[in-house]
Structure 1
Amino acid sequence: MSQPSYVQEYSAIVDVLNQYNEGGKQANSSIMKPAFSEQATIFGVTADGELTGGAISGLFDVIGTAFRPSPEARAVIARIDIVGSAASARIDTNDISGFCFTDFFNLLKVAGKWTVVSKIYHTHAAL
């Protein structure tokens, strides 16, 4: 019995996540938008401990208004887990518009294409 191999799927997911990374680095939501399902959501916790988020369009609005291009930004895909048509991923980002984030993504393979359906994040305290 052969074990499933996700090499091709892993590479396709990396491509999707790199759209997100590049869009953040350039402060250009049009670069990252294709990585997300139109129904995707984003959630995090404010400094006051309150839940914040909703439709992914909120991320695109923030990227377009509050972020600036950050050529110094560095991101690493810390992990990707894949099972069939579902996957999860973690990205750690430093120095993106003066912030550091850990992002967790849930992805689904829909009609042959990987897409982010949800993102949750943690904003690290500034040093």
Structure 2
Amino acid sequence: MNKPSYVHDYQAIVAVLNQYNDGCKQADSGLMKPAFNAQATMFSVDGDGKLAGGGIQTLFDGIDSGFKPSPEAQGAIVRVDIVGTAASARIDTNDVSGFCFTDFFHLLKVEGKWSVISKIFHTHVAPGK
């Protein structure tokens, strides 16, 4: 029988993703910043169908200025896929300051530590809107 692989890496990635979830729920970028590499990016498609985003500071600024703490927010880590020092993950969130998102993350294990290198996302139409 082979030993399980990637269990430790999976747990480390979940811990990183939970930093993001906590920051969203509490509307505090300081909680999520450790999850991201300083060179990370974030992109989405805006209401006009155009590419929007850039450096990860855009996320931090948006969380701190446009979101409010959401104790009712729920986030589920739907998928984590790991190969060596690369991973991808998906998180679905509901009621994050009235928004629902699907986030896709790419992570790398650099110098023994997992961090988010890029985030793309889709904003869902919130129920009742």
TM-score w.r.t. structure 2 length? 0.95
User: Which residue is 1:100 aligned to?
Assistant: 100
Shift in Å, 1:125: 1.1
User: Which residue is 2:120 aligned to?
Assistant: 120
The equivalences for 1:1-127 within 5 A come to 2=2, 5-127=5-127
Cα RMSD (Å): 1.2
User: Partner of 1:41: helix, strand, or coil?
Assistant: strand
Shift in Å, 1:80: 0.1
User: Partner of 2:25: helix, strand, or coil?
Assistant: helix
Query: Structure 1 segments of 4 or more deviating over 2 A?
Result: 1-4
User: Partner of 1:5: helix, strand, or coil?
Assistant: coil
Shift in Å, 1:50: 1.0
User: Partner of 2:9: helix, strand, or coil?
Assistant: helix
Corresponding residue pairs, total: 127
User: Partner of 2:69: helix, strand, or coil?
Assistant: coil
1:8-38 deviation line (CA, Å, top 9, x unaligned): 1000000000000000000000000000000
Once the two structures are aligned, what percentage of the paired residues are identical?
A: 68
Q: Unpaired runs of 5+ in structure 2?
A: none
2-side partners of 1:70 and 1:123: how far apart? Answer: 17
1-side partners of 2:4 and 2:106: how far apart? Answer: 20
1:35-76 deviation line (CA, Å, top 9, x unaligned): 000000000011211110000000000000000000000000
Shift in Å, 1:121: 0.1
